[in-house]
Amino acid sequence: MLIFCGVALSPLYLFPSGLPQPADLIMAGAICIAVLYAIKIRSDLGFGSLPQGLIILGVWIVIVSLVWGMIHSSAKFLMDPLFWIYNILVMSLVIVILKKHERGEQLIGYAVLAALAISALGAMIGLRDPTGRNTGFFNNPNQLAYFSICAIACLVVLKDFKISRQLVVGFILGGVGLLSAASLGAIAGALFLILALLVANARSVSGALRLPALAAMVIAVMLLVDGHFGGTISDTLQARFNRADSKITDMYTERNYERIVKFPEHALLGAGSALHEERFSPYGRNEIHSSFGALLFNYGVVGLLLFVAFLVSVLRKASAPLLLSAAAPLLYSVTHMGLRFTTFWILMAIILFRTKSSSRQIKSVVVR
């Protein structure tokens, strides 16, 4: 129940960004109970199912943060590793639920669908009194867009790329948040999910017939929602597309990539993730808006290579549709920092579970 609520309430932000939200506190309670139970039965809490690269990356982030925290006498450096440890534990817990719970896939699937419903509700409330890009219940529109793409991807993978009523509802609910947030990166990522469905259903007559129906239903509902709110979504999207050229041109400075070039001494081991403005002025305003760029600057080439090794270990046996599903949020992560976002790690857990399940099935067939 705690895990269900932790996933379902993930779009509800009550505190400033960078601080734990209600869903994080609920999930932390689930983690505490799971740890105590794991100690009781002498289990590893599913860590054995996690790629070694991720565990080593977590240890490396803790070491780098502790060193810089001692150098600058600041506990602020410890906030980022806490999020990493928390998300690694969440990923482990989700894998355990998927593997051990009799209806684990259903539980996570309905939790994600509930989260998409809450997110869509927040987005529609925001559309009633638009003041720019929609944020829903989040603190900024990029969080709404990134959540939508990750959550839809979770459903697509959980449903094994089969067109179902639950998947149609998920696309409609996620589409409201995705389009009203008007994120070009998230829309580009959504195209990868559509391509994943096309590839997965290419050889299925029923699947191929259902795909146009899915697209028609989602488009029709989006047009109805947009019309109900006076064309707010289409107007915002048009304004964003009109700015696409300038955003690409200004990406280097807007996303704070300059910091990586101006302070190359941190490229190998990393600078930690705190006190950026004080340490790297005038290039320290906000964090680097890129998962890969932030990882490189904060934890060096070592940290970036460990993260890439983790992705390779998760995706090396993945099918083409699974690769495309993972590519959706990873593409978005090029221009946005999304590694603290728990929904991304839930998606990684689901993909890892799927790849391992497929490998076991293949081995079973070979043995037979």
Average pLDDT score over residue span 180-188: 86
Q: Where residue 365 falls among pLDDT bands split at 50, 70, 90? A: very low
Angle 273-16-170 from CA coordinates, rounded to 5° = 100
Global pTM value: 0.92
pLDDT in tens, 311-328: 999 998 899 999 999 999
- Do the domain assignments include residue 368? no
Instruction: Kindly tell me if the per-residue pLDDT of 362 is higher than 50.
Output: no
**Is 334 buried (19+), middle (13-18) or exposed (0-12) by CB count in 10 A?**
middle
**Pairwise CA distance, residues 153 & 150, whole Å:** 5
Q: What pLDDT does 245 receive?
A: 67
pLDDT value at residue 238:
84
Domain with 26 in it: 2-362
Q: Measuring CA to CA, how many Å separate 165 from each of 181, 197, 199, 211, 213?
A: 24, 15, 19, 12, 11
Q: pLDDT grade, residue 55 (50/70/90)?
A: very high
127-150: average pLDDT: 89
What is the longest distance spanned by two Cα atoms in the chain?
Answer: 64
Domain contains 157: yes
* Contact criterion met (CB below 8 Å) for 261 and 293: no
* The predicted structure's pLDDT at residue 250: 62
**HSE of 33, CA atoms in CB hemisphere, 13 A:** 10
The reported pLDDT for the residue numbered 95 is 93
Average pLDDT of span 54-58: 94
At residue 367, the pLDDT reads: 44
- For residue 265 the two structure tokens come to 């001494």
234 in a domain, yes or no?
yes
Residue 58 has pLDDT above 90, yes or no: yes
Average pLDDT over every residue of 286-295: 87
Q: What angle (nearest 5°) sits at the alpha carbon of residue 32, between those of residues 57 and 346?
A: 50
User: CA 258 from chain center: how many Å?
Assistant: 25
Contacts of 92 (CB under 8 A, 6+ apart): 45, 46, 47, 49, 50, 349
Single out the residue of 210, 10, 3 nearest to residue 105, CA to CA.
3
The encoded tokens of residue 29 equal 């309670």
DSSP per position, 73-135: T-GGGGHHHHHHHHHHHHHHHHHHHHHHSTTHHHHHHHHHHHHHHHHHHHHHHHHHS-SSS--
Q: How confident is the model at residue 345 (pLDDT cuts 50, 70, 90)?
A: very high
List pLDDT tens digits, range 186-242.
888 889 999 999 999 888 777 777 888 888 888 899 889 988 888 888 888 888 777
149 found inside a domain: yes
What is the per-residue burial (b if ≥16 Cβ within 10 Å, else e) of 173-202? bbbbbbbbbbbbbbbebbebbbbbbeebbe
**Is there a domain that residue 367 lies in?**
no
| Residue 310 scores a pLDDT above 50 | yes
The tally of domains found in the chain comes to 1
pLDDT band at 122 (very low <50, low <70, confident <90, very high): very high
pLDDT tens for each residue of 226-254:
888 888 888 888 887 777 666 665 666 76
Per DSSP, 140 falls in state S
Instruction: Assess if residue 218 is contained within a domain.
Output: yes
CA distance 206 to 211: 9
- With pLDDT > 70 as the criterion, what percentage of the chain qualifies? 94
Among 38-42, 103-107, 225-229, 281-285, name the one with the lowest average pLDDT.
281-285
Specify if 112 maps to a domain.
Answer: yes
**273, 298 in Cβ contact below 8 A?**
yes
3-state helix, strand, coil in the chain (%, to 5): 75, 0, 25
Residue 296 counted as domain residue: yes
pLDDT of residue 251: 66
Q: Which residue has the tokens 């043995």?
A: 367
pLDDT-derived band at 18, boundaries 50, 70, 90? confident
Which are the contacts of 131, defined by CB distance < 8 A and separation ≥ 6?
none
